[in-house]
Homo-oligomer: A and B are copies of this chain.
Amino acid sequence: VRILNVPLGERSYRIKIGAGLLSSLGVECARLGFGRRCAVISDTNVAPRFGSRAQAALRAAGFEPALIRIEAGEQAKSLKTFETCCEQLAAQWLERRSLVIALGGGVVGDLAGFAAAAFLRGIAFVQVPTTLLAQVDSSVGGKVGVNLKAGKNLVGAFHQPRLVLCDLDTLRTLPQREYRAGLAEVIKYGIIHDRGLFGRLERDVKRLLAREGRTLEFVVARCCKIKAEVVEEDETETGRRAILNFGHTVGHALEAISRYGRYLHGEAISIGQVVAARISHEVLGLAQRDVDRVCALFRQCGLPTQVRLSRSELDRLLATMKVDKKVVHCEVKFVLAKRIGHVEIGQTVPEKLLRAAFDAGPKNRD
């Protein structure tokens, strides 16, 4: 078991990473010192698999856990589901000293976290991420929220969890497509901050795809460590934290125009990162060899690296990017790579160049 610390003053918390941690959920929560009453928020995929184990662990430690189930999938990350959750928290008589436990992937974590942030103007919550994407990214850092019709994550809060429990065993049963989508965030850490990690991912891609235990533990811990450091430096994203958005400006817009139905988040940002790498070549002089390595690694992980868009789809995509949160003065700012392991924020990209980066796709070999 690896233990990391996210040092944020009185909002500090620990991340525990290892196999079989779900059974210690009750004991871990009891150590935090909240009331007996708590609610596990999970979805229709994860609840049947891990819900009763989570509840049993909590009961054994003296808690009275309610189980709140939401629909699986990005569609549930809405204010409508948020309202349903909050009404249920009230119906279950949760009070200020109660704990919300988010058991599931990124959607569950973001939604349950926002419910915890807003219910009674904020109660405590614990993240138990059960997907690779949630373990390496969304469960750490306190960004919670839901989507609007106008775009992803446009409504939410900064609300840090009190604990993040990454049980690597929960990744065993993850569908292949979802597991691969999580690798898109893993690769991102290599590109934005850790050339060594990127190299290791290239070498260990087979072990990674086979979900080999020690490789997984190393990779999840390394990604969480990078995320924790970035969050520590800039908790509310006034500056450097934006490096985590590499590939996300295009990715989010792609999800939005396809109405969150076609792509998993990891797939959308896989395409987004390849587009960002191509733009980086033009704007920051990222070597063509590095663009190719980025593209190849995503491909080896079975992730999409290109998208065919009609002219009108591309127009809609560009318009959607302008309501993204990274917009300042109606100008879209990009995170771009100078080399693998180093990115720069706040980059302006001429629209022409942006359009060209999408056109570049079909001309590739694949």
Interface residues of A (CB under 8 A from B): 35, 79, 82-83, 86-87, 90-91, 93, 95-97, 117-122, 143, 145, 148-151, 154-158, 236, 322-323, 325, 327-330
Contacts and interface: CB of A to CB of B under 8 A. Distances in A.
Name, among A82, A90, A119, the residue most crowded by chain B CB atoms within 10 Å (CB to CB): A90
A75 to B, nearest CB: 15
A-B complex: 10 closest residue pairs judged by Cβ atoms: A90-B150, A79-B83, A120-B325, A118-B155, A121-B156, A95-B327, A90-B323, A86-B155, A87-B148, A90-B154
Contacts of A143: 121
Given A87-B148, A93-B322, A119-B154, 19 more contacts: A35-B329, A79-B83, A83-B148, A86-B148, A86-B154, A87-B149, A95-B325, A95-B327, A95-B328, A118-B145, A118-B155, A118-B157, A119-B155, A120-B154, A120-B325, A121-B143, A121-B145, A121-B236, A121-B325
Q: Determine how many copies of this chain the complex contains.
A: 2
Contacts of A95: 325, 327-330
A122 B79 contact: no
Name, among A93, A118, A119, A158, the residue most crowded by chain B CB atoms within 10 Å (CB to CB): A118
A110 to B, nearest CB: 11
A48 to B, nearest CB: 27
B96 A325 contact: yes
A174 B149 CA distance: 37
A39 B120 CA distance: 26
A45 B278 CA distance: 53
A147 to B, nearest CB: 11
A209 to B, nearest CB: 34
A158 B121 CA distance: 7
A153 to B, nearest CB: 8
B157 A122 contact: yes
A90 B158 contact: no
Contacts of A86: 79, 148, 154-155
Contacts of A148: 83, 86-87, 90
